[in-house]
Structure 1
Amino acid sequence: MKALERASTFAGNTFAYWVILFAALALLFPGGFTWIGSYISLLLGIIMFGMGMTLSASDFKEVISAPKKVLVGVLAQFTIMPFTAFGLAYLLGLPPEIAVGVILVGSCPGGTSSNVMTFLARGNTALSVTITSCTTLLAPLVTPALTLMLASQWLPVSAGAMFKSVVTIVLLPIILGLIAKSLFSKQVEKGAKALPLVSVIGIVAIVAAVVSGSKEKILESGLLILAVVILHNALGYLLGFFAAKLLKMNYADQKAVSIEVGMQNSGLATALAMAHFSPLAAVPGAIFSVWHNVSGSLLANYWGKKAKKMEEEQNTTSP
């Protein structure tokens, strides 16, 4: 069990490297990964089941103790990213399938890795966890509605079918995870230490499947999609940070909201794109999965070092 725990910690700390490595391998040897494409929804369901097993009442304590902060984070998540995605798709004249893929990424809830990045950045981790949990539970209604509103001018969107998919992929696994935790609390507590490893394997497999299945399209449009993903992600961090600052939230809260807004559940976007649109529409989600873990690690490292330096300066100046 100790070995599994160490492997899980190592996988979580090196998440971005594994995503990049297997994305590259999927481009070089696509035949070895295309078979995973049929299991994308199942893999995401397993990840969401793990999330359900880790949820507790304390994850929502910020809703009661600081409802304004949570509301700001949730509203920022479901306004900044989707409307920024729409603006980028419109202004850059993106092809329909890529435009829909970018909007899908923007319309999804926050990614669970944002909680880890917020912790490393010395932000308000409790706030980050609460916002992630709230946006994830709201996703079955909000994600299809936003996609219908913003993406239907490019491709037909069935909000009802997407609602069923999000319920199946996200909500039901989370509920089953909560039930498993309540029935087998001791076993779940022991197994929870392996969940980061399961999440890393799941996301890496999803990215590899999409990259391998869309190799030709990535080589053709990859630079354009990468540029849009980097811009979308950066604007999410920036606008999330300034939205929190404008509303006079403290620095730790600003970092939490910034990271929460900038990092998306791109695995869900990828699964929805594969199920309801096309493999090309799934590429922005796959590339976002790679990039936001890289950028999130860099940003968290910068903020973490800055916080440590400030603490050291305060310690040296205090009597």
Structure 2
Amino acid sequence: MNSTQSSSRRPKNQSAEEHGAFYAVTIFPLLILAAGVLGFLVPGAFAGLTGWVNPLLGFIMFGMGLTLTFPDFGMVARRPIPVVIGVVAQFVIMPFLGWFVSWALQLPPELAIGVILVGCCPGGTASNVVSYLAKGDVALSVAMTTISTLIAPFVTPVLAVLLAGERMSVSGASMMMSILQVVLAPVILGLLIRWLMPRFVNRVTAALPWASVVAISVIVAIVVSGSAAAIVSAGLLVLVAVILHNGLGYALGYGAAAIFRLVPSARRTTAIEVGMQNSGLATSLAHTYFTPEAALPGAVFSVWHNVSGALLAAVLRRRAVSER
């Protein structure tokens, strides 16, 4: 989905652009859902792929880096306040919502860790496409996603230890090194390649959404294949937790932007950035350091936040945006 976010920043044909973006956030979740069903029905097919979760996430983040350019960071310098508000809201609202939902639903420790990890992760890359469809501020969305991703190696472990430390047997330092390796390093590498070889990157960006969805689909299939028992016993509970976490994130993100009097398009973007998470990272961390059950909320979130994002965009784009 990352190349779609790039093209949405520089649209050439708006109707074709909207069609492609809507396709990305509606068809892709169905493909990811199909991968999850496949992992549940034939778990043995993915039993030998458990070591591929981190490399696949690194590939997805490398694709995100390929869609970035250095001028994208100018947004932070030109309009720092909306970016700071969005990023702070991202790392305050969603982590504590993850803890609250886990407590309210009395989730088992493994599932609670998974939900909290989802909340502690940065914004998801698909949020840029959803912001575009919802008539939000796309440049602001890209800036928020980029900054939250770049600081995640240092913020995510601290939040995870703070909110789930009593359930965790891993140190924050180990988690930080993992995020540096599978998130920050691939993003920076992709950004540098985009800068050094722009013509080559422009030729391959059209394939990046499909490459990314294949990668996240395989991750979901691997996680589901190792969590069949948890799905049977607690699948509905996990789905309820994910829906609450995601939906409350949208609402509180919009509320935070309204409190600080951001313009309506920025409010929409902030809501989407807060509600949509890099659940692939949460899945990877849970799979690496905890049990397959702990990775289940991230896998479910990967499907659901795209579905809810498409629905939210469809509702918001029918409502006029006044910037006064």
Q: One fold, TM greater than 0.5?
A: yes
Taking the aligned partners of 1:36 and 1:106, their CA distance within structure 2 comes to 26
TM-score normalized by the length of structure 1:
0.91
Q: 1:119 aligns with which of 100, 116, 132?
A: 132
1:107 match: 120
**Counterpart of 1:109 in 2: which secondary structure?**
coil
**Conservation of the 8 A alpha-carbon contact between 1:51 and 1:177:** yes
**Counterpart of 2:166 in 1: which secondary structure?**
coil
Q: What amino acid is aligned across from residue 185 of structure 1 in structure 2? A: P
Taking the aligned partners of 1:68 and 1:93, their CA distance within structure 2 comes to 37
Deviation at 1:93, TM superposition (A): 2.1
Structure 2: gaps spanning 5 or more residues: 1-6, 8-15
1:198 match: 211
Structure 2 counterparts to residues 172-191 of structure 1, below 5 A: 172-191=185-204
Taking the aligned partners of 1:278 and 1:249, their CA distance within structure 2 comes to 41
Q: What amino acid is aligned across from residue 232 of structure 1 in structure 2? A: H
Taking the aligned partners of 2:87 and 2:48, their CA distance within structure 1 comes to 36
The question of 1:223 aligning with 2:258 is answered: no
TM-score normalized by the length of structure 2:
0.89
2:92 match: 79
Taking the aligned partners of 2:233 and 2:96, their CA distance within structure 1 comes to 26
1:313 match: none
2:35 match: 22
Taking the aligned partners of 1:94 and 1:12, their CA distance within structure 2 comes to 29
Taking the aligned partners of 2:47 and 2:262, their CA distance within structure 1 comes to 45
Taking the aligned partners of 2:179 and 2:292, their CA distance within structure 1 comes to 18
1:137 match: 150
Q: Deviations over 1:78-116 (max 9, x none)?
A: 000001111122233221111111110000000000000
Q: Deviations over 1:125-144 (max 9, x none)?
A: 11011000000000100011
**Conservation of the 8 A alpha-carbon contact between 1:63 and 1:70:** yes
Q: What amino acid is aligned across from residue 304 of structure 1 in structure 2? A: R
**Conservation of the 8 A alpha-carbon contact between 1:147 and 1:157:** no
Q: 1:234 aligns with which of 210, 230, 247?
A: 247
The question of 1:251 aligning with 2:251 is answered: no
Taking the aligned partners of 1:220 and 1:276, their CA distance within structure 2 comes to 22
Distance change >3 Å, CA 211–CA 184, structure 1 → 2: same
Q: What amino acid is aligned across from residue 199 of structure 1 in structure 2? A: S
Taking the aligned partners of 1:187 and 1:101, their CA distance within structure 2 comes to 38
Q: What amino acid is aligned across from residue 184 of structure 1 in structure 2? A: M
Taking the aligned partners of 2:194 and 2:168, their CA distance within structure 1 comes to 40
**Counterpart of 1:163 in 2: which secondary structure?**
helix
**Conservation of the 8 A alpha-carbon contact between 1:84 and 1:232:** yes
Give % identity.
49
Q: Deviations over 1:46-68 (max 9, x none)?
A: 11111111111232222112111
**Conservation of the 8 A alpha-carbon contact between 2:157 and 2:176:** yes
Taking the aligned partners of 2:299 and 2:173, their CA distance within structure 1 comes to 24
The question of 1:163 aligning with 2:168 is answered: no
Q: Deviations over 1:7-32 (max 9, x none)?
A: x9755651111112221222222222
Q: Deviations over 1:164-214 (max 9, x none)?
A: 100010011112112222332211121122111111111111111111111
Taking the aligned partners of 1:176 and 1:187, their CA distance within structure 2 comes to 15
Count of paired positions: 304
**Conservation of the 8 A alpha-carbon contact between 1:108 and 1:266:** yes
